[in-house]
């Protein structure tokens, strides 16, 4: 595939669309199951799906002994920590607000890279971070300047952000050694093992008491196939061909698509202050990414899924 191929941009945009939709699908799944159950089921279905696809497209590829510790840490930060924080956070904030906060991962990643990898951070990145926080503040406060959403929900979503940042830094070490299918397949398998005791201890009673219908089965299948599987394959293709800085520009599409789908599928309503906050956050992300695009820095693969 050529670097300038339109297919690369189609893949990248599709990944962002899948991640934007995931917040809406998660909200629907919560009408039936608790967060741990939703995470466990989507990981289980995703693992089966990826295993089948990898059998034909990346047969026989296994993890080298020296890289096993990186895969363990990858899975610990994501899906384990990330999905725990995000899934419970979405119990307290709307799908649109959750996607806006998660979309700040590309802004925090350069700061983490500065302290951990000693990579330089430009003023544009710092300005983008400040603007994004201003936007989050506008989203959190209502028209009377009282707290509109749960502080617990906001803290959990930012815990997911930092888990995604560390995941991106670790993924840098293995992203060029293995195929995208292999990376996502093994991190999901390890994550599934980490989630199993929590699922059995906390959520088994709720899970066994629910009779699934076509609606929840279809939503779980959509979550497993699109945001939990194909999106990561597509984004890896995008990173390899057009670079992380240009891929990051597409992430601003996530909160926009989530807001649109939330409006039509969940009936969420947005006042003028919240809409302004969303626009400010996206402006901050664009400011940061457009500035970093001018610099040649080490490339890291970020995480944006719900």
Please provide the DSSP assignment of the chain as one string: --TT-HHHHHHHHHHHHHHHHHHHHHHHHTTTS-HHHHHHHHHHHHHHHHHHHHHHHSTT----GGGHHHHHHHHIIIIIIHHHHHHHHTTTS-HHHHHHHHTTHHHHHHHHHHHHH-----HHHHHHHHHHHHHHHHHHB-TTSSB-S-HHHHHHHHHHHHHHHHHHHHHTTTTTTS-HHHHHHHHHHHHHHHHHHHIIIIIHHHHHT----HHHHHHHHHHHHIIIIIHHHHHHHHHHHH-HHHHHHHTTHHHHHHHHHIIIII-----HHHHHHHHHHHHHHHHHHHHHTTS-----------
The answer as to whether 303 is a domain residue is no
- Asked if residue 213 is part of any domain, the answer here is yes
Contact 247, 238 (CB under 8 A): yes
297 within some domain = no
Sign of the C-alpha dihedral, residues 237, 239, 242, 246? Answer: positive
| Residue 264 belongs to domain spanning | 6-292
Q: Is residue 299 assigned to a domain?
A: no
In a domain, residue 160? The reply is: yes
Q: For residue 147, report the phi and psi dihedrals to the nearest 5 degrees.
A: -65, 120
pTM: 0.77
Structure tokens at 67: 């890289």
**Residue 101: Cβ within 10 Å count:** 25
φ, ψ of residue 141 to 5 degrees: the values are -95, 140
Query: Which of these, 304, 79, 305, lies nearest to 193 by C-alpha position?
Result: 79
Q: What tens-digit pLDDT sequence spans the chain (306 residues)?
A: 555 578 888 888 899 899 889 988 998 999 999 999 999 999 999 999 999 988 888 777 888 888 999 999 999 998 899 989 998 998 888 887 787 788 777 777 777 767 776 666 667 766 776 777 677 667 656 544 444 568 889 899 999 999 988 887 787 778 778 888 888 889 899 999 999 999 999 999 999 999 999 999 999 999 999 999 999 888 877 777 766 556 665 776 777 778 778 878 877 776 777 778 778 877 876 776 666 555 544 444 444 455
Tokens for 173, please give them.
């070490």
How many domains in the chain?
A: 1
Rounded to an integer, what is the distance from CA 249 to the centroid of its chain? 15
Report yes or no on 268 lying in a domain. yes
pLDDT at 288: 67
- Residue 162 CB-density burial (10 A; 0-12 exposed, 13-18 middle, 19+ buried): middle
């Amino acid at each position: 595939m050529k670097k300038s191929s339109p297919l690369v941009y189609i893949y990248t945009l599709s990944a962002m669309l899948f991640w934007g939709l995931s917040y809406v699908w998660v909200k629907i799944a919560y009408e039936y199951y608790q967060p741990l159950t939703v995470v466990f089921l989507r990981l289980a279905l995703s693992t089966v799906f990826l295993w089948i696809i990898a059998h034909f497209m990346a047969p026989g590829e296994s993890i080298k002994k020296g890289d096993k510790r990186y895969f363990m840490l990858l899975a610990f930060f994501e899906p384990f920590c990330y999905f725990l924080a995000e899934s419970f956070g979405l119990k307290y904030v709307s799908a649109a607000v959750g996607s806006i906060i998660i979309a700040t991962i590309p802004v925090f990643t350069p700061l983490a890279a500065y302290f951990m990898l000693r990579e330089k951070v430009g003023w544009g990145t710092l300005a983008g971070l400040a603007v994004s926080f201003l936007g989050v503040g506008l989203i959190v406060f209502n028209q009377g300047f009282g707290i509109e959403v749960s502080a617990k929900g906001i803290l959990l979503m930012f815990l997911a952000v930092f888990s995604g940042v560390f995941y991106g830094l670790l993924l840098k070490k293995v992203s060029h050694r293995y195929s995208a299918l292999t990376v996502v397949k093994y991190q999901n398998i390890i994550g599934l093992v980490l989630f199993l005791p929590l699922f059995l201890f906390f959520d088994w009673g709720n899970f066994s008491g629910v009779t699934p219908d076509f609606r929840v089965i279809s939503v779980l299948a959509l979550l497993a196939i699109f945001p939990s599987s194909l999106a990561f394959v597509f984004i890896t293709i995008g990173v390899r061909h057009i670079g992380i800085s240009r891929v990051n520009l597409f992430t601003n599409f996530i909160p926009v698509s989530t807001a649109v789908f939330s409006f039509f599928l969940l009936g969420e309503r947005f006042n003028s202050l919240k809409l302004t906050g969303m626009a400010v956050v996206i402006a901050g992300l664009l400011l940061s990414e457009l500035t970093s695009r001018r610099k040649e820095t080490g490339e890291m693969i970020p995480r944006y899924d719900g």
